[in-house]
Chain A
Amino acid sequence: MRVHAKRAGVLLGGLMTPALSMADWTLNMSPGVTGTSNEIFSLHMTILWICVVIGIVVFGVMFWSIFAHRKSPGRKPANFHENTLVEILWTIIPLVILVVMAIPATATLVDMYDTTEADVDIKVTGYQWRWKYDYVDEEFGYFSNITTSDDEIYNRTEKTENYLLEVDNPMVVPVGAKIRLLVTANDVIHSWWVPAFGVKKDAIPGFVNETWTRVDEPGIYRGQCTELCGVKHGFMPVVVKAVPQDEYDAWVAEQKEAAQRERELTEKDWTLEELMARGEKAYASACAACHQADGSGAPPAFPALKGSKVATEDMQAHLDIVVNGVSGTAMQAFGGQLSEVDLAAVITYERNAWGNDTGEMVTPKEVFEYKNQE
């Protein structure tokens, strides 16, 4: 708060210089780090300058009239009210300018739509309110959650540099490769945007939109969801880490191994304590956004779990709701989103946390059987 007060003071003092290194008076779009974003940037600048020139001419004439043709010196008005030649000219000339603008715009658009010959396919799925990245050819995928703490959001601690733009697991892509993105959503419409790539694509539930990018420089690039998607729309950042090819290959190998280990965990015998510990984490990342960390929910859209019938009575019904969701409500089907281990852990956690002391547990194996009996 103090920082902002200081900044306001600077502002009111009329010193239009950044008061802090964080503060930023950026006026324009950045050219970005991909071919597409550079093309867009140059289109943007071209149109901007055309508009500026037209503006100067039109407003120039106007301000000249305002100044020179005002009544106070005792001016008599002229009486002309049409001139066919002038009117035709100022219809034709803008038309020509438009055609000139349309040519590069068309070329760029055609290029942006060419999703063929991709080196890497990544399926990007929007969820309320996080992203999931599935590396289609490599058979692994993971969620990407915001990591900015509530303390920062509610101004209880200092905000850090990447406030609201930081996630636990960024998307990782190799530099120089053509990456095809298959963008979709699980619940409502989201939009995946990284300004530095010049890529923005709406994630439509039930449909897949294709787009692509090729990142020229390694680095971390940040964006946000840009389609209103509910209460936490402002809190689902996109972070992409572009790394050199060999680093990427190593990362992929590691991810595949981790995925394999995760699958093996299903076979393990779990204790209640182990499941509770894992469940708390899984709950925080998958459920707490709606049902709240203390299970109190946000009725009517998101019912409380603390003391609810679902979490304390029939176990099969609970399993069914978590795995298959409840159609027509905001409750999603988590069967495809979470691993068997996490499903078992979450359900066990919900049945034993916040005073829901049923003492019951469900094992990953049972979840696996439940999912496959259907």
Chain B
Amino acid sequence: MDKLNLDQHISRQFNADLEELKTQLLEMGGLVEQQTINAVKAITTPDSDLAERVLVTEEEVDARELKLDENCTLVLARRQPAASDLRMVLSVARITRDLERMGDEAHKVAKMAIHLNEHGEAPRGYVELRHIGTIVHQMVISALDAFARFDVDLAISVAQEDKKVDQEYKSAMRELATYMMEDPRSISRVLNIIWALRALERIGDHAANIAEHVIYLVKGLDVRHQSLQEMERQVKEQ
């Protein structure tokens, strides 16, 4: 994967600009990744302070989104990038949006953690939450790694992971639904868990989106809205 050597432009400033975009994005990704794991921890530990920290970080993530968007716009306006550079800037812009959404979802999870701490713990669902949280966290890390290393294979594996998350989420739903039918008094508390699970599932989706953007960045293929098999076939063919 040596096609993306972003550092050989005649204009060194252009190299620096692109490098800066990449660094900023990875920093923002690091924040979001931390948010995700902290939000899950805040519920499972439970730890309201940690949840509060996630809420605070969310503002930082939003600020970084604005900054990255601005930088992308500037690069587009100044350099009229083409080919890999263009894909780089576009991917950064798209991944930024996904990261920001992930931050929002993590924010929701953190809110649920505070809620659960204030109104009593849910009787069930923590195992599932921890389990899905771990998978999703790993997905986020992998997606960011895939971006950092322009690793298509890793990106595909992230997309595959997303299927697993979806299945885990469905089975957790079924189980919690059954539980709520058994014990209607716990509905409001279990619902909080369900919201949190839902948010984690969404984070997984966004991580999968990031993986797709990485594939676009490296291969120039737009693999959105396609089945996993189709995606893999196209990537191999390229």
Do the two chains belong together in a single complex?
A: no
Residues of A near any B CB (own CB < 8 A): none
